[in-house]
Amino acid sequence: MDHAWWMASSVFDGARAFGGLAPDIDRHCARLIVSAETFNMTSPLTAEEITALAWEGIKQFPKEAELYIRPLMYFKDGFVTPDTSSTCFILTIFEAPLPEWRGMTATISTFRRPAPEAAPTNAKASCLYPNVGRALAEARADGYDTAVVLDASGNIAEFATNNLFIVRDGLVLTPVENGSFLAGLTRKRIMELLSSAGYRVEERTLTISDLSRADEVFLTGNFSKIQPVIQVANNNYAVGPVATHCRKLYFEFAKREGRRTCR
């Protein structure tokens, strides 16, 4: 009878822990609050309290465990329109090994990301993921790992569950935030790390033709962090130096900044 089962009125976030490190877990917990506010939820906990609770959960596992941390909020009561005071909170932590570093393959999905006027695209909302599942199922049925998903205007939004980057003549490009996709926290961190390392990183409106002219393609996301893409439809790419360096920069950052800083 809970509203969330019926109306998919839940929001969540995902963070990672590995080797006793949990990089950017505070950012992930803070984003959960922002997603909740999009649904007019009354959060039972602050971002700081959720972060502290997550660290308590991480401590229950062996230090070497590779974990997925998923804080979630949902509505319990309501009939179509939710009772905003009925917000509930769940924190789930479970073992989920980091995917191996390997070249990913992708097709162009026939499904598209919704416009901001048609869905709560500014939240990490559970109701957005059935369409993601359709894109993945379609791609995997054709023998690909994932899919490039376009926005309502036909421009590139992202991969099905990851943000997209291309490299051309040393310039790193990623689709500009236009409200149709969730601009991920790992995406943001990678942009910061690459910029600090001297790369020129720009957000642009990208089209399918940009993929055919790319020197490298790679994806970012919380679950797998960084993965090189070696094929998009009929275009093939090598595992390039920028993606390889990007991975090195990220895990150096994780070792440097990923330890618990709050009590």
Which domain, by its residues, includes 46?
Answer: 3-95
Task: Among 32, 65, 95, give the residue marking a domain's end.
Answer: 95
pLDDT tens track, the chain, 263 positions: 999 999 999 999 999 999 999 999 999 999 999 999 999 999 999 999 999 999 999 999 999 999 999 999 999 999 999 999 999 999 999 999 999 999 999 999 999 999 999 999 999 999 999 999 999 999 999 999 999 999 999 999 999 999 999 999 999 999 999 999 999 999 999 999 999 999 999 999 999 999 999 999 999 999 999 999 999 999 999 999 999 999 999 999 999 998 875 43
70 and 112 both lie in a single domain: no
115 and 15 both lie in a single domain: no
pLDDT digits 0-9 by tens, 47-67: 999 999 999 999 999 999 999
Q: Residue 179: exposed, middle, or buried by beta-carbon count in 10 A (0-12, 13-18, 19+)?
A: middle
| CATH number, domain containing residue 12 | 3.30.470.10
83 and 161 both lie in a single domain: no
Write down the pTM of the prediction.
0.93
140 and 230 both lie in a single domain: yes
Q: Which residues contact 166 (CB under 8 A, 6 or more apart)?
A: 172, 173, 174, 206, 210, 211, 214, 215, 216, 217
Whether 261 maps to a domain, the answer reads no
pLDDT digits 0-9 by tens, 106-121: 999 999 999 999 999 9
Whether 262 maps to a domain, the answer reads no
71 and 108 both lie in a single domain: no
Whether 77 maps to a domain, the answer reads yes
The number of distinct structural domains making up the chain is 2
Task: Among 43, 63, 95, give the residue marking a domain's end.
Answer: 95
46 and 171 both lie in a single domain: no
Task: Among 71, 95, 119, give the residue marking a domain's end.
Answer: 95
Whether 257 maps to a domain, the answer reads no
248 and 136 both lie in a single domain: yes
Torsion of CA 247, 155, 223, 193, to 10 degrees: 30
